[in-house]
Amino acid sequence: MSVTNLFDPSGIAVVGASDTPGKIGYEAMRNAIEFDGPVYPVNPSASGTVFGREFVPSVTEIDGDVDLALICVPAQVVPDVVAECSEADIGAAIIFAGGFSEAGPEGQELQDRLVAAAEEGGVSLLGPNTSGFLEPSRDLYATFASDIEGIPAGNLAIIAQSGGLAYAVAFQAENAGVGISAMVGLGNRATVGFREAIDYFDGDERTDAILLHVEGTDRGRELLEACRESETPVVAYNVGEQDVGDFAESHTGALTGEHELYEAGFAQYGVPTVRSSPELLDAGKALADCPEPDGPNVGIVTAQAGPGIAITDRLKAAGATLPSLTEETQAVVEEILPGITFSANPVDTGRPMPEFGEVVAAVARDDNVDIVLVYELYEGSVGYPTDVLEGVVDEVDKPIVFASGGPEAILDEELAELEELRIPTYRAPERAADAVGALVRYAKRNRNPDAVAAEEVNADD
């Protein structure tokens, strides 16, 4: 079963569409009509129109091109609706309802019936127990959530086991001015799981990094293999370090508790893991926007020692190496700033100054350095080194990551200019350090001979 019908539909049916605000069938319809393609409300007991579209009594009676159904009906009816979708040649369906495998033996039985209907009918299922997905660049909002139209289009694909968590990340992205290519809540993963979603968005030209949220899955091996095979960088937020057993099980019917196993697997395959939703977004942004780092050697330039020390502390904990700068670089730095506070690595300039950008560029050009991390408190009389850094990322083909503090209005304007130079920016020193930590772990993926060996071992079992 292809997931192209799901994530790249030509037309959409909303089954259980309603004209009553607040109902899922209404909210899903309201979102769906933003799509630039035909959208049909389906409801046997409704007549007239909703959002200007005429109700159709059944998916089999749609006169038009539809390959995705948003199923807004109660759980018990869903297997039959999916069978009808198959009849109507609709290749994909999203099941919003809960009450399936997450809801005990009866729910499991219902989900088994659902999967049987889907497999027999060749219908790819997202869910059940999901809030759906969205792709802002195509105005494709296959979800019942509200206030989502402001989530900007961009290059991050969020693939989350939990739709609620997916939205938490997506709104954080919106509020940070970061765009997404897609946001997917997998829910119970009846047929479409991590493997299928990762494969699809790895092949999606709009996507430059894949952000995973994992609570535990019984298809863990597939998940890890999909991550390894993805040419698009993947970063994973693997929840469940502590025992949250019952609650998690009641959620998506999956057991957490194999947290360490996953952490080890991700590490083995060079997939950086993070510990919170803000960190997932921060790491994804760096992975998506920066050139691929060649190694874990970080050159730090800071205009304030305290944040520089916090950054250094955190980077070392993340496994980064802080190499000595070459004599050439040290000579350049000392010529630019004689008597500089600390001209090894980190380079501490003491305060921002007009030459700050030249120091950053010198460190970026250092052969010992794979990744550059800069911290500078905003000072109005100096500003940011946007002019000096123009073209430097492409020239050195290395990640340059920039963190700063200052009033929001200034940062919004001035950091946006740095972002245009492919320099991701952050507003707390530790958040930038964590993002660079993910780059460091990603860089190690390509250098780790053990990973290759482990691959071979796994291939035998």
- Can residue 255 be called a binding residue for a copy of itself (CB under 8 A)? no
Half-sphere exposure (CA, 13 Å, Cβ side) for 56? 20
Q: Using CB under 8 A, which of 135, 196, 225, 348 touches a copy of itself?
A: 348
DSSP β-bridge partners for residue 447: none
CB of 175 to a copy of itself, least distance (A): 4
- Can residue 160 be called a binding residue for a copy of itself (CB under 8 A)? yes
Q: Are 159 and 213 in contact (CB under 8 A)?
A: yes
Collapsing DSSP to helix, strand or coil, 388 comes out as helix
Residues within window 40-79 making contact with a copy of itself, judged by CB under 8 A: none
Length of the chain: 461
Q: Which is nearer to a copy of itself, 49 or 250 (CB)?
A: 250
Residues within window 257-286 making contact with a copy of itself, judged by CB under 8 A: 275-278
CB of 318 to a copy of itself, least distance (A): 10
Q: Which is nearer to a copy of itself, 10 or 146 (CB)?
A: 146
In whole angstroms, what is the distance from residue 426 CA to residue 415 CA? 9
Q: Using CB under 8 A, which of 310, 421, 451, 454 touches a copy of itself?
A: 310
Tell me the backbone φ, ψ of residue 204, rounded to 5 degrees: -85, 120
Q: Using CB under 8 A, which of 139, 431, 448, 451 touches a copy of itself?
A: 431
In whole angstroms, what is the distance from residue 384 CA to residue 144 CA? 42
Q: Which is nearer to a copy of itself, 11 or 257 (CB)?
A: 257
- Single-letter amino acid code for the residue at 287: L
CB of 116 to a copy of itself, least distance (A): 26
- Can residue 374 be called a binding residue for a copy of itself (CB under 8 A)? no
Nearest CA-CA partner of 401 in 338, 314, 273, 306: 314
In whole angstroms, what is the distance from residue 424 CA to residue 398 CA? 12
- Can residue 134 be called a binding residue for a copy of itself (CB under 8 A)? no
Residues within window 185-244 making contact with a copy of itself, judged by CB under 8 A: 213, 215, 239-244
Q: Using CB under 8 A, which of 191, 252, 349, 425 touches a copy of itself?
A: 252
Q: Are 102 and 162 in contact (CB under 8 A)?
A: no
Q: Using CB under 8 A, which of 10, 175, 324, 446 touches a copy of itself?
A: 175
CB of 246 to a copy of itself, least distance (A): 7
Nearest CA-CA partner of 284 in 201, 351, 379, 375: 201
